[in-house]
Every structure is written in C-alpha cells, then in structure tokens.
C-alpha cells in the first residue's frame, strides 16, 4: 500500500471535468484507490465520490493506493495534479 498527499492547485478545484479525467485515468489501473479529505473517504474510481469531496483549490487530499500496479497509479495521479489537469 502506498499513500500520497496532494494539494489541489488548479484554481477551479476538482470540478466535473478534472474529476472525470481522474476517474478515467485510474480505471486503467488494477489497484484500488481511496481519497481521504478531512474525515471523508471516497472511492477514487467513482465520479460521484470524487465530486462529493468538493475539493477546492488548496484542498489537501490523501490518496491511498493498494494493488499490483500502485507505483504506476501514484505516478499517474501526480502527473494529473502537476499538470493541473491541462487547465
């Protein structure tokens, strides 16, 4: 199991389009992914779950990845957030 804390840096936050992009990307991997924000935990492969986080710019998200390709999964998550979802 790997964990990574990422701060949302795109000014619109994790709204519908980046949430959908995140879910589509994560569904390419076998590992399970959970996102924790404050005391709330969601399945990162669920658009509704990710949207329910209401993660605005500056929100701190903890990703917990568990599975056979967790290293690649974490790298994909970091890449999306570092690129600010190409916004």
pLDDT tens-digit map of 48-85: 999 999 999 999 999 999 999 999 999 999 999 999 98
What pLDDT is stored for residue 15 in this prediction?
Answer: 92
What pLDDT is stored for residue 78 in this prediction?
Answer: 97
The pTM for the full model equals 0.94
Architecture of domain 2-86: 2-Layer Sandwich (3.30)
What positions carry a catalytic annotation? Answer: 15
- The domain ranges of the chain are 2-86
What pLDDT is stored for residue 83 in this prediction?
Answer: 94
What pLDDT is stored for residue 86 in this prediction?
Answer: 83
How does pLDDT run across 13-54, given as a tens digit for each residue? 999 999 999 999 999 999 999 999 999 999 999 999 999 999
Cβ-contact 31, 75 below 8 angstroms: no
What pLDDT is stored for residue 6 in this prediction?
Answer: 97
Q: Using N-to-C axis directions, what is the helix angle for 70-82 and 16-26, rounded to 10°?
A: 160
Q: Quickly list H helices, 1-86.
A: 16-26, 47-52, 70-82
């Amino acid at each position: 199991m790997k964990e990574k804390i990422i701060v949302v840096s795109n000014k619109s936050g994790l709204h519908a389009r980046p949430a959908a992009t995140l879910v589509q990307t994560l569904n390419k991997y076998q590992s399970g992914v959970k996102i924790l924000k404050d005391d709330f935990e969601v399945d990162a492969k669920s658009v509704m779950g990710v949207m329910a986080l209401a993660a605005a710019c500056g929100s701190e998200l903890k990703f917990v990845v568990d599975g056979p390709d967790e290293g690649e999964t974490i790298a994909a998550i970091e890449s999306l957030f570092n690129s600010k979802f190409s916004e």
